[in-house]
Structure 1
Amino acid sequence: MCWQTEFLEKHNLLNSYSENVQCVIDWLEPVLSHQKAPFCLAINGAQGSGKSTLSDYLKAYLESQAIATEVVSLDDFYLSKAQRAERANQYHPLFTVRGVPGTHDVSFAIEQVKRFKNSEDFILPRFNKATDEPYNSAMWLKCTNKPKVLIFEGWCLGLLPQSSDQLNVPVNDLEATKDRNGEYRARVNQFLSDEYQVLFALFDNLVFLNAQSFERVYSWRLQQEHQLINRAGTGMSDEEVTTFIQYFERLTRWCIQSLSARSDLHIKLDENRQFSVAT
């Protein structure tokens, strides 16, 4: 069985998926041929955009070419509930909810990416969204085989902070009612402008999966939760999704507005997640 068939069966994907994402491989091949290993590729995509599946597909492809590859998500670096509670006490109560800049252990992420780029052993943590806690460190991935490629995926990778004028106007009910003075979004923006930029500067290239509208992202997230409920019997209600996704709305819209100019490969997604390379 070829690696593509095995991957598609494992992820329950149609054969057309390989054709859909071939444009990314076509872009990546010459990039890698001109890059010295270790190479860190960032993939930015909103919730439900398919960035995790694409990352895993690229790993399978690269390993079929004898290029050792690892994948990690920004989500894997989420702080524990206790750590987020500390930030909530220090800055704003909304920091108890994981997601935005300020709810990740970015210093640890920076350390591990630097170790990867120096061809040293490094660690990739894992986060359990069911318990809202990091997995026990014994379950984290200890990378001692010196992979040539590290794929780092996340929903706000590569994003620059917003201006003070942009922060003045709330983008949704959550900000209007629970962040009336703008303190929360200003603090998120400050986190984004500081240590997150240090992390982003370590990436060699950035792929942007552009959902093109926040409404589409909301629809995809609803779809994800419905699938989770059907598969696992548990998940967020539609009302809970509506509330949860508001935490991501400001910066997701900012990604759609600004990131195409900063990415090395800009992929436009239609409502069915079909890829087209932006020119």
Structure 2
Amino acid sequence: MNLWLGEILATDMLGETWQQQARVAALADKLRAKAFGITPGNVDEVIEKRSQLLKSVLPAFSQFCQTTLQIEPKEMLQVLWDLWLPLGIKLASQRQQLECPLIQGILGGQGTGKTTMSKVLSLILNQLGYRTLSLSLDDLYKTYSDRLVLTQQDPRLIWRGPPGTHDVDLGLDVLDQIRQSQSPVMVPRFDKSTYKGAGDRTTPEMVTDVDIVLFEGWFVGVRPINADIFDTAPPPIVTDEDRAFARDINHRLHDYLPLWERLDSLILLYPTDYRCSLGWRKQAEQQMIAAGKSGMSNSEIEKFVNYFWRSLHPELFIKPLVKNTTVVDLVIEINSDRSFGEVYCDRA
């Protein structure tokens, strides 16, 4: 047991005084309380259950922070308590109510923390007795050879990522097998490092007895919009060619609707300013370069990010979903410093 974990369990952090403060805090944030089903009538039970779960998940969480995130676990303790633990409990409750595996969608752009959240939720759900599968939209990319053909057909698809570069039928097959509780299931995986970064399919992963699928991606659950909107679209959609590209990509989203229909619910990781993703990407590339790895220059990053904004602009496709409770079940706001802001299911 590491020193930090020992200090947490040895102090009064989970004692009665601390739990009373936790009860008050849990009810004070009314939007978050509503999102996680916390009421004055059940808050004692909620805090007790969360406290016990915190104790059981701390060893694995501490190791994850140190080895994967390479940060001190106590830096993430508040996020674990306020967000990830209640979210894990919420997903476990949803799974309990189903008679089949739960398919949870996670929508978030680059740098919003989809992968980290999925890994932490897997740790939590494992403690609650549920076997999870993390599946990325990236895992459904068409093969390298198929994407070469696609680029020949449409030279505008210079990078993998936008609608049209995925094998939707493959995704439907995998999710349907899991939904029907088939076991084992061969889950596709994608290696981004092959072909000088172009990437290709790698050896599938065989999984058994999946209870909950965490299906994440930068446009998971995104629906097509009215094509007339592109007549007055924001930058970088500025030329006739840009608008034609945006309309074509928007049309390709129709092919993904059957995949979104498999989702039981959808979580949106929502940056309060979508332009933050550009700065986050630059920070990530600078860190890689500082570590001696190859990375893109700032101008290359801007070209890359603008390409994705031209294909599915966050202001047009993501922002409207914040208030669309028929599509999105939970919104988690991301501040410019990548901290978590408000959490809500309905701001009304």
Counterpart amino acid of 2:108?
G
Q: Can you give the 5+ residue segments of structure 2 that lack an aligned partner in the other structure? A: 2-58
Residue equivalent to 1:134: 200
Partner deviation per Cα, 1:246-276 (whole Å, 9 max, x = no partner):
1221333334411222311111111122223
Partner deviation per Cα, 1:150-196 (whole Å, 9 max, x = no partner):
111101111111211123345445x546x617432222111112x21
Tell me how far apart the structure 2 counterparts of residues 232 and 58 of structure 1 sit (CA, whole Å). Answer: 31
Query: Which range moved further: 228-237 or 101-110?
Result: 228-237
Residue equivalent to 2:71: 13
Residue equivalent to 2:165: 103
Counterpart amino acid of 2:71?
L
**Secondary structure at the counterpart of residue 95 of structure 1:** coil
Of 250, 273, 278, the residue aligned with 1:213 is 273
Q: Does 1:70 align with 2:133?
A: yes
**1:37, distance to aligned residue in structure 2 (A):** 3.4
Give 1:221-240 correspondences, 5 Å limit: 221-240=281-300
Counterpart amino acid of 1:4?
F
Partner deviation per Cα, 1:219-247 (whole Å, 9 max, x = no partner):
11111222222335111111111011112
Tell me how far apart the structure 1 counterparts of residues 258 and 318 of structure 2 sit (CA, whole Å). Answer: 22
Tell me how far apart the structure 2 counterparts of residues 127 and 61 of structure 1 sit (CA, whole Å). Answer: 25
Q: Is the 8 A contact 1:74 1:153 kept in 2?
A: yes
Q: Is the 8 A contact 2:95 2:101 kept in 1?
A: no
Q: CA RMSD in A?
A: 2.1
Larger Rg: 2
Query: Which range moved further: 37-46 or 72-81?
Result: 72-81
Q: Can you give the 5+ residue segments of structure 1 that lack an aligned partner in the other structure? A: none
**Secondary structure at the counterpart of residue 191 of structure 1:** helix
**Secondary structure at the counterpart of residue 140 of structure 1:** strand
Tell me how far apart the structure 1 counterparts of residues 75 and 97 of structure 2 sit (CA, whole Å). Answer: 29
Counterpart amino acid of 1:20?
V
TM-score (norm. length: structure 2): 0.72
Tell me how far apart the structure 2 counterparts of residues 231 and 40 of structure 1 sit (CA, whole Å). Answer: 37
The number of aligned residues is: 272
TM-score (norm. length: structure 1): 0.89
RCO (CA 8 Å, sep 6+): is it higher in 1 or 2?
A: 1
Tell me how far apart the structure 2 counterparts of residues 32 and 114 of structure 1 sit (CA, whole Å). Answer: 16
Give 1:108-187 correspondences, 5 Å limit: 108-120=170-182, 121-131=184-194, 132-136=198-202, 139-143=203-207, 145-169=208-232, 171-173=234-236, 175-176=237-238, 180=241, 182-187=243-248
